[in-house]
Amino acid sequence: MKHHQPIQRSERTTTREIALFIFVLLVMSILYGTPRLFSQGFSAAFLLETGVDCLMMTIACLPIWWLHFRKLVHLPMKTRFALHILTAFLYYGIWAGLYYLYNPMVGLPTMNRNQFFQNIGPNLLFYIQVFSSLHIDLFFREREAQQLREQELRELAFKGEINALKAQIQPHFLFNTLNSISASLPGEQEHSRVLIARLADTFRYALQSTQQDLVPLSQELDFMHTYLSLEQGRFGKRLAFSIEGTEGTAEILIPPMLLQPFVENAIKHGIEPSIEGGSVIISCIRESKKVGIYIENTGSPYVGNPEDLFLGKGVGVKNTAKRLENQFAEKLQVSINDKGGLRIHFCIPG
Q: Got the DSSP string for 172-197?
A: HHHHHHHHHHHHHS-GGGHHHHHHHH
pLDDT: is 220 or 210 the higher one? 220
pLDDT tens-digit map of 242-258: 999 888 888 889 888 88
Which pLDDT value is given to residue 3? 42
Q: Which carries the bigger pLDDT value, residue 338 or residue 306?
A: 338
Element (H, E) at 296: strand 290-297
For the cut 70, the answer to whether the pLDDT of residue 343 exceeds it is yes
Residue 139: CB partners within 8 Å, gap ≥ 6? none
Q: Is the whole-model pTM more than 0.75? A: no
pLDDT tens-digit readout, 85-105: 899 999 999 989 998 898 888
Strand partners, 241: 280
pLDDT of amino acid 295: 95
Per-residue b/e over 47-61, b at no fewer than 16 CB within 10 Å? eeebeebbebbeebb
Cα-to-chain-centroid distance, residue 93 = 36
DSSP, collapsed to helix, strand or coil, labels residue 301 as coil
Determine what percent of the chain is predicted with pLDDT higher than 70. Answer: 82
Q: Is the pLDDT confidence value at 7 over 50? A: no
* Closest to 285 (Cα-Cα) out of 345, 240, 334, 220: 345
